[in-house]
Amino acid sequence: MKKKKLVISVVVIILIIAGGSIFMKYQNDKREETAFWDEQKPRIEKFITYNFNGITSITFDDDSATVNPTGVPHLKGYLNGDKSLSFDAAVGGSGKFETGISFSEGVQAYMKKEYKLNPRSVSEIEAEEKAK
């Protein structure tokens, strides 16, 4: 009888430890994901404000932060408080957002003429800012 109680106690302790470690891993992964997007948002904002005119606000749909089936992280949002001016930013293979962004039709009207065919990447913008 004592042996049975001991075995049950050990199994329960193992299950509690395993459950706790799974929960801690989930919390850590969530924290890393949040930190990743917190790093990308200013880069996306910098790209948009540099390459476009008339952008007064950039709103991110935090619940739209996803990783597509090919493994590319995406974050959606909209401009100037107008959900019809939407965008979908993709983080490239470098692990940082550079230029991978698609827009709804209405957004093209805001793009600066000199960058319509070749928008500046975030790295180019940052290098330009450092040179000043």
pLDDT by residue (tens digit) across 92-132? 877 888 888 888 888 888 888 888 778 888 988 898 888 87
Q: What is the number of structural domains in the chain?
A: 1
- Residue 84 is part of a domain; what is its CATH number? 3.10.450.130
Average of per-residue pLDDT across 12-17: 92
Domain span at 76: 40-131
Give which of 122, 80, 126 is closest to 103, Cα–Cα.
Answer: 80
Q: What whole-number distance in Å separates Cα of residue 26 and Cα of residue 127? A: 37
Which pLDDT belongs to residue 94?
76
Q: Is the pLDDT confidence value at 1 over 90?
A: no
Q: What is the mean pLDDT of residues 52-60?
A: 91
Query: Which uninterrupted H or E stretch holds 130?
Result: helix 122-131
**From CA 118, how far away is CA 51, in angstroms rounded?**
10
pLDDT score recorded for residue 47? 92
Would you say residue 34 lies in a domain? no
Closest CA to 87 of 99, 96, 95: 99
What does the pLDDT read at residue 79? 92
Domain-located, residue 71 = yes
Tell whether 18 is covered by a domain. Answer: no
Whether 1 is in a domain gets the answer no
